Amino acid sequence: MIDWEKLISAARAVRENAYARFSNFKVGAAILSADGRVFTGCNVENSSYGLTICAERAALFKAVSEGAKDIIALALFTDSAPPARPCGACRQVLFEFNPDLEIVSANLSGNVDKFKLSDIFPEGFRLV
């Protein structure tokens, strides 16, 4: 059983650390690994714009760096309505580790959408 409330709370909390001085769009992400660990990330923008990293990839790279490649769920937290969807780049990067990843996206208004990565990214690139 996935504790979605806990994962959403973690994404909401880490969103406060977002470094979003150019877009003012703060994003928080929390990833649950199969062994029960939670890895959080926020977006970190940069003066050179293109070097910005999204919250989802920040969280994922932390997870993988700590040896957690078996990821089972992602919570995303923003202030957008409807709740945001992961960007295309993040979809491909998440797909690498779990094409069926379970995702919740929540916002400050209390809206919560639940879907799978495979719903929004059915045919990612695979190196065969």
Q: Whose Cβ is closer to ligand THU: residue 33's or residue 105's?
A: 105
Does 17 interact with ligand THU (rule: CB under 6 A)?
no
Rounded CA separation 128/124 (Å): 12
6-14, 21-29, 94-102, 109-117 -> range binding ligand THU (CB under 6 A) = 21-29
9-17, 20-28, 65-73, 110-118 -> range binding ligand THU (CB under 6 A) = 20-28
Rounded CA separation 36/27 (Å): 22
Beta strands in the chain (DSSP E): 28-33, 38-42, 71-78, 102-107, 112-116
- 79 three-state secondary structure: coil
Does 120 interact with ligand THU (rule: CB under 6 A)?
no
Minimum distance, C-beta of residue 27 to ligand THU, in the bound complex (Å):
3
Specify the amino acid at residue 64.
Answer: V
Identify residues 90-109 at the interface with ligand THU (CB under 6 A). Answer: 90
Q: First and final CA of the chain: distance in angstroms?
A: 33
| Interface contacts to ligand THU, rule CB under 6 A | 20, 23, 25, 27, 43, 45, 52, 54-56, 86-87, 90
